[in-house]
Amino acid sequence: MRAAIYLYVASDEAQVSSDRKIALADTTIVTSQLQKMQDFARSQEWKIVKIYREEPNRQFIFSQMIAEAESGHFDVLCFWSLDRLSRRGAIHTICTLNHLQDSGVQYLSFTEPFFNSTDPDPQKNKSFHVVSILTALEHQESVWYSERTRLGLQRQMLSGRPGPNGHKGPGHPPADIDLERAKTLHSKGLSYNNIAATIGAAKSTVMRRLKQADNGRK
């Protein structure tokens, strides 16, 4: 099995300052995590084909990892813990796990054994059940968000105040996203959260741009 390892360096750990102890501590922590995950991968007879290391000034690494997962570059992704896979909250993290599996990639949280989709024993592999529950919560959150957005737009229209684009009622300046890729993912049935996680954009932006594109075709 081809394995990839994902490392995330927090901003406080990667900070470069006059105190060289910060950089030294960061190097020690990340090196230790990497060594343990490499040893584990070898114990499973996995071939390590890629190591992703994301830092605050290299945030494109996450998008690169997702793109290569979609392209079938590796079969399993190993990361230290969920908060090292994503720093954007639980919903974004669960969307990432779902998207990995939709792309045919298994995942393993090294320090959280219940987030391990590689274990063939259903009694040991609790990941499916945990992710299923959180996915249901994600869907409900999406329903709440849509309702709040609808009510907010109604209030804006009734107020008659100009929106961000200068017109009365709601309006938004165009956001710079990979719209064609978002359309493709949307046509495959991916949720707005999954699309946002994949292309590295805000969910609200993805929803707005896709709806604008859809209205433009009518």
- Averaged over successive runs of 10 residues, the pLDDT of the chain (218 residues) comes to 89 45 59 92 95 80 93 95 78 84 92 81 54 56 64 66 52 68 87 85 87 72
Between β-strands 47-54 and 2-8, what pairing exists: parallel, antiparallel or unpaired? parallel
Tokens of 129: 């059940």
Quick one: pLDDT at residue 83?
A: 80
Question: 77 pairs with which residues across the strands?
Answer: 4, 107
- What is d(CA 141, CA 160) in angstroms, rounded to the nearest whole number? 29
Amino acid letter at 181?
R
Quick one: pLDDT at residue 202?
A: 85
Going from N- to C-terminal start, the domains of the chain cover 2-121, 133-217
Chain centroid to CA 164: 28
Burial (0-12, 13-18, 19+ Cβ within 10 Å), 130: middle
Quick one: pLDDT at residue 44?
A: 93
Quick one: pLDDT at residue 217?
A: 58
pTM of the entire predicted model: 0.56
Quick one: pLDDT at residue 98?
A: 85
Q: Which of 128, 138, 70, 61 is nearest to 99 (CA)?
A: 70
Domain 2-121 fold: Rossmann fold (3.40.50)
What string of DSSP letters covers 140-154? HHHHHHHHHHHHHHH
* Residue 163 near residue 176 (C-beta atoms within 8 A): no
Among the residues of 44-178, which ranges form H helices?
Answer: 60-70, 82-85, 90-102, 127-159
Q: Quick one: DSSP state of residue 111?
A: T
Quickly count: other Cβ atoms within 10 Å of residue 100's Cβ: 20
Quick one: pLDDT at residue 51?
A: 95
